[in-house]
Structure 1
Amino acid sequence: MRKKHEEKPVNHERWLLTYADLITLLMIFFVVLYALSMLDASKYKQLSESLKISLGVGTPEMTNFEGGQITPYLNTPQSDEQDMKKYFEELQKQNEAQREQEAMEAYKLEEVKGVIDKYLEENKMTANVSTQLDDRGLVIRVNETLLFDSGQSYIKSEFSRRLIDLGKILNKTDNYIRIEGHTDNVPISNDQYRSNWQLSTARATNVTELLIHSAGMAPKRLSAVGYAEFRPIAINTSFAGKTKNRRVDILIINSKYNSVEGNK
């Protein structure tokens, strides 16, 4: 006779296993979400710090003083964004101020050019003296024939008075001024000068000294330089071209170059 098996009692708590598995999966899911959110914040902070460093924005540690206690200032992504916004606003203001200053400088140089052009016309000097504006500033270009005898650096007495008048006009500005001597490409060798370098430099120096001693210009505003034949404005293969290249340029330097010129 077959032995009768007893039936096992039904376990009514097996659902707890499924519930526990579900809770575990949910916990893992939320942990993953949290990790992803922290990763994004970390990447954002790294990007922000990288931008600050490349743009020259400092990231000093800050503290807040509350109730006599020192508490650290937490640099959150929101505060980083505000810092960057503030930086770009300040940069925009600086650019606008610079553009305004450049416009005012251009207007001032235009006015000086107008005064000099009027003086040149009234004294019938336009054939040998001209003015032009370029990125460097205002250039007063004086031909050699008006200033010097051939191969010499002494200023002709008949033009000294005119040069002093021009110096007094320039004395009303506060720009730096550079006197530039130029020659053609014909070599020179006489008792005074062994090269065009020496001749061009001597001519620029004599004009500079006349402006200082006779026109009352401040020496710290002036500089003299000779370029010999190496800064031509015309070809040196014709008589007309050589005549144009033998000159002295009086350059009223745009104030945007003050930091460079003032350190020379």
Structure 2
Amino acid sequence: MSRKREHEPEKENGERWMLTYLDLITLLMIFFVVLYSMSKVDTQKFQAVAESLNKALSGSTPAKIEISTNPVGPSLIQTGSPPEKTPNTNTPPDANVNAGQTNGNVERMSLEAIKAKLDKFAADNGIQTTLVTSIEERGLVVSIQETLLFESGSADITARARDILEKVSTVLAAAPNQIKVEGHTDNLPIRTPQFPSNWELSVIRSTNVVQILQRDGIPPSRLSATGYGEYRPISSNDTDAGRGKNRRIDLIILHTKYEVTEPQ
């Protein structure tokens, strides 16, 4: 009987490293071919390809390849700090400021034109002492004293006052600005079933004026009514003349910059 030959240990294949090396070279070649051939890529897809190649090459968690946020152009990989943006020298830095000043000047001229028309109307009708206009920080203020609009202690607008407000509405309707109607009284108390205090009297008066302005063509979206009672005097309440100035209706044609505080 023939003896079985003992198994000889297999010789270690010294050329196995060549397979790994060739795989590495092949992957690198594919990687750079992809980079070269892509002139415009989807950043998310390219990131996925880069991570897959990193894993295949390293066999472990790869370092993240940074992709430029703008994949169009000669460089797809962010290799340095991003280029600084060149300032647009075509637009002057103070262009917006100048535009704002221009708009403000145009609006002021518009309010001054309205003021001139109302002043002429008041002078032509002999009411320049009871219908007074002024331009303030918040806009054009048209102050109409109580005697021109109401009987004492009443919120009912007189027939003559309706004609005056109709003429005022015609002038104010030409501008798109918001109009606040503010009612004011003196500090003499009033206690009637209809008006328990000056608050109610001032509010109802301003509301009645708003209704007249709306009826005469001013959109209600431009109007608001407020009553301040005796708490916003413009003169002393110690004299009859001072109290007469405090009993008034103010129409404020607001500058557009203050319209942001008005509810839309």
**TM score, norm. by length of structure 2:** 0.69
Which of structures 1 and 2 has the bigger CA Rg? 2
In structure 1, give the amino acid aligned to 2:72. F
Report the Cα distance in structure 1 between the residues aligned to 2:142 and 2:121, rounded to whole angstroms: 12
In structure 1, give the amino acid aligned to 2:250. D
3-state secondary structure, aligned to 2:72: strand
Q: Deviations over 1:198-221 (max 9, x none)?
A: 1100000000001111x1110000
Partner of 1:104: 106
The one of 65, 86, 97 equivalent to 1:95 is 97
Partner of 1:207: 209
Q: Deviations over 1:218-238 (max 9, x none)?
A: 000000000111111011111
Q: Deviations over 1:34-73 (max 9, x none)?
A: xxxxxxxxxxxxxxxxxxxxxxxxxxx9424126x74449
Q: Deviations over 1:115-153 (max 9, x none)?
A: 111111111111211100001100110000111111110
Deviation at 1:110, TM superposition (A): 0.7
3-state secondary structure, aligned to 1:65: coil
Deviation at 1:104, TM superposition (A): 0.8
Partner of 1:47: none
User: Does residue 1:249 correspond to 2:211, yes or no?
Assistant: no
Partner of 2:47: none
Partner of 1:223: 224
1:202 and 1:101, CA in 2 relative to 1: closer, same or farther beyond 3 A? same
The one of 79, 82, 107 equivalent to 2:84 is 79
In structure 2, give the amino acid aligned to 1:239. D
CA contact (8 A) 1:65 1:71 kept: no
**TM score, norm. by length of structure 1:** 0.69
The one of 119, 122, 132 equivalent to 1:120 is 122
3-state secondary structure, aligned to 1:189: coil
CA contact (8 A) 1:179 1:222 kept: yes
1:91 and 1:231, CA in 2 relative to 1: closer, same or farther beyond 3 A? farther
In structure 2, give the amino acid aligned to 1:63. N
3-state secondary structure, aligned to 2:133: strand
Gaps of 5+ in 1: 1-60
Partner of 1:164: 166
In structure 2, give the amino acid aligned to 1:250. L
Report the Cα distance in structure 2 between the residues aligned to 1:74 and 1:221, rounded to whole angstroms: 57
In structure 2, give the amino acid aligned to 1:231. R
Deviation at 1:91, TM superposition (A): 5.5
The structure 1 segments of at least 4 consecutive aligned residues displaced by more than 6 Å after TM superposition are none
1:65 and 1:217, CA in 2 relative to 1: closer, same or farther beyond 3 A? same
Give the number of the structure whose residues are more often helix, by fraction.
1
Report the Cα distance in structure 1 between the residues aligned to 2:79 and 2:220, rounded to whole angstroms: 54
Report the Cα distance in structure 2 between the residues aligned to 1:109 and 1:257, rounded to whole angstroms: 14
Partner of 1:150: 152
1:91 and 1:64, CA in 2 relative to 1: closer, same or farther beyond 3 A? farther
Partner of 1:63: 70
Q: Number of matched residues?
A: 196
1:74 and 1:205, CA in 2 relative to 1: closer, same or farther beyond 3 A? farther
3-state secondary structure, aligned to 1:79: coil
3-state secondary structure, aligned to 2:134: strand
Deviation at 1:253, TM superposition (A): 0.6
